[in-house]
Structure 1
Amino acid sequence: MYIHIGEDINIRARDIISILDKESAKNSPLVEEFLKSHKGKVINLTKNPFKSVIVTYDNIYLSPISSGTLKKRSNQMSIHEF
């Protein structure tokens, strides 16, 4: 199934490695270092400050959608798969 993460971008749920909230991403030196080292793969989907970071096998997305909302969407997808 696919999850809408903002700006008309849908990604496959099975490709998602991690979804981080804004506070975790901004307060963790490890996440900050990770984002800097993968700067070429970061795709910003928002004009405003991002609300979540979605890490996939191919890219890292800065999303305007909160991590809680993305979690709810992924749970709804799981229910509808069966």
Structure 2
Amino acid sequence: MYLHLGQSVVVPYRDVIGLFDMDNTTSSHLTRRFLERSEKEGRLEMVGDDIPKAFVLCGRQGEKTRIYLSQLSTATLKGRAEDNQFTLD
């Protein structure tokens, strides 16, 4: 199953490590530094043109993590992830 992050970007559900709210997490200098470093390393991708509301941390064992900035809220992304779980039955 896949998680739709907005626009035409989808990621495999099994690759999602975490969903993070931009307002709550970027108040920390550590999170801001992590996002800045990820951007410099080319691992950060903007999904859409609007102001991001969430970032999604994705990765697989043995690969570098990818960070997607999404214009969708964490509640919307969480709902989509939960919907994917129900379709597996």
Matched, 1:46 2:48: yes
Distance 2:86 2:50 in 1: 32
Structure 1: gaps (5+ residues): none
Tell me how far apart the structure 2 counterparts of residues 8 and 46 of structure 1 sit (CA, whole Å). 9
Greater share of residues in helix: 1
Post-superposition shift, 1:26? 2.0
Unaligned runs of 5+ in 2: 60-64
Please say if 1:80 is aligned against 2:82.
Answer: no
The percent of aligned pairs where both chains have the same amino acid is 28
Correspondence 1:36 to 2:43 = no
Structure 1 moving runs of 4+ over 6 Å: none
Q: Retained in 2: the 8 A contact 1:6–1:64? A: yes
TM-score normalized by the length of structure 2: 0.85
Pairing 1:65–2:72 present: yes
Give me the TM-score of the superposition, normalised by structure 1.
Answer: 0.91
What are the superposed Cα offsets for residues 3-49 of structure 1, whole Å, 9 maximum, x if unpaired? 11011111111101111012123212121111112111110112121
